[in-house]
Amino acid sequence: MMSDNALLQCQEVSKQFPVKSGFLGKKRALTAVDTVSFSLGKGECLGLVGESGCGKSTLGRMACGLLAPSKGKILLQGRELPLACAQSWAAGRLQMVFQDPFSSLNPRMTVAASVAEPLAARGVGRQERLQAADTMLSLVGLEGVGRRYPHEFSGGQRQRIAVARALMTRPDVIVCDEPVSALDASVQAQILNLLCDMQEQFSPAYLFISHDLNVVAFMCQRIMVMYLGRLLEDGPRDELVKHAAHPYTQALLSASLGERVTGAGSPLQGEQPSPLHPPKGCVFHPRCPRAEAICRKEVPEWRVLGENWRVRCHFSEGVA
C-alpha cells in the first residue's frame, strides 16, 4: 500500500543480478525483486513473509540503502534514498539488524566499541560514544559488559547487542532481517519482546522480515506476502490471518499456525521455481491448487478486498 504521508516508500522497485548459467557461461539476469511497491508509516511494524529465496532480504537491503535498485525508487520522507547512506543526509536514519548476530559483529572490537561505532560518523567523541554505548547496552539487558568481546556471549545476547547498535542513532527505520531465525524458541520470544519494548521507548518503524508467519503475526500490524520476487497479498494482520485471500498465503497459514483457520489451504507441494526461469503469468501457478488457463498466461492485477487490503490473484473478488 502507498501513502502520501509515509516515512519510507518503495515505488515499483526491482532488483536484477547478472549471473552466468549453462555450459558456456551465458550471462543472464536473475530477478530477485520484481516491481514491488509499499509504504511504511512512522512507528509502524510492517511484516514481510515468504519462503527462503523469495527476495525478502534483497528488498530489505534496498530499503536500508545497502543495495541500489535496478528500477524504481526508494524514498525516505519524500527524498530519494542514496546508496551510500552512511555518507549522506540519510546517515543514521536507517539501520539494520541482521540474521546472524555473530557475523554482524567485529570479533576484534569490544561490544561497547561495536555499539558505539554508528556515532563515530556523527563526530561524537570517543569517551562520549562509549558512555552512550554502555547506557544502551543496559537498556537491552546487558549491563556492565561493554569491555567484553562477541565470542564471550550467547546467540541471544549477541542479538541484543545488535539491537542496541541499531538504536544508537535513534533511527527512523530499522530493517529486521530474520532477527530470531538463528535462535532457540525461548530466546526468540525474549528478542521479540525486546524489539517491542524498544519500539515503545524509541518509536522506530520496523520492516520485519521473516519466513515464519507466527513471528510476523506476533510483531506486525500489517503483513506483506512475497513469492518469487513479487508481492502477492498485503493487508492488516487480523484480516489476513483470519481470511487470507491468496492460495499462497493460505498455504503459509496452514504450515505456520499449526491449526485450521478460515481460508487456510493445504500445505505447499513442490519447490519454488528458479528466479532464473520464472513461470509466465502468475508466478505461483505451478504450485497453486486453483490454477486455471488464465493463470498460466496473464499476470494478475491487484484487487482491493477492503481498507488497506489487496491481493494479486485472478480468482479473489475485489470490492469497490
CB atoms within 10 A of CB 103: 11
Q: Is 245 helix (H, G, I), strand (E, B) or coil?
A: coil
Domain regions of the chain by residue span:
8-93+169-312
Kindly compute the dihedral angle of the four CA atoms of residues 175, 179, 181, 187, in this order, to the nearest 10 degrees: -150
pLDDT of residue 310: 95
58-109 pLDDT, tens digit each = 999 999 988 999 999 999 999 988 765 555 677 789 999 998 888 889 999 9
Would you state the pLDDT for residue 320?
A: 38
Least confident among 33-42, 300-309, 311-320: 311-320
CA angle 10, 229, 284 (to 5 degrees): 130
SS3 64: coil
- The C-alpha atoms of residue 61 and residue 77 are separated, in whole angstroms, by 18
What is the DSSP-derived secondary structure letter of residue 186?
H
List the single range of 24-28, 55-59, 143-147 with lowest mean pLDDT.
Answer: 24-28
Helices (H), 18-110: 56-63
Q: How far apart are CA 265 and CA 255, in angstroms?
A: 9
Helix axes 126-139 and 155-167, enclosed angle (nearest 10): 130
What's residue 229's pLDDT?
A: 95
Cα gap 47→238, rounded to integer Å: 13
Q: What is the pLDDT of residues 134-147, one digit of tens each?
A: 999 999 999 999 99
- The string of pLDDT tens digits covering residues 248-287 is 999 998 887 654 444 455 667 778 888 888 999 999 999 9
Which helix (H) or strand (E) element contains residue 207? strand 205-210
Going by CATH, does the domain composed of 8-93+169-312 fall within 3.40.50.1980? no
Is the model more confident about 200 or about 264?
200
Q: Which amino acid is at 227?
A: Y
| Residue 145: other Cβ atoms inside 10 A | 19
Do 101 and 115 form a contact (C-beta atoms < 8 A)?
Answer: no
Quote the longest CA-to-CA distance of the chain.
66
Query: Higher-confidence residue: 24 or 19?
Result: 19
Sequence-distant (≥ 6) Cβ neighbours of residue 161 within 8 angstroms: 101, 105, 111, 114, 115, 137, 140, 142, 150, 153
The partner residues of 14 in beta bridges, in order of sequence, read 71
d(CA 150, CA 105): 7
- Cα dihedral angle (116, 118, 124, 128), rounded to 10 degrees? -20
The answer to whether 129 and 179 are in contact (CB under 8 A) is no
- pTM, to two decimals: 0.91
Name the grid cell of 307.
Answer: 481498507
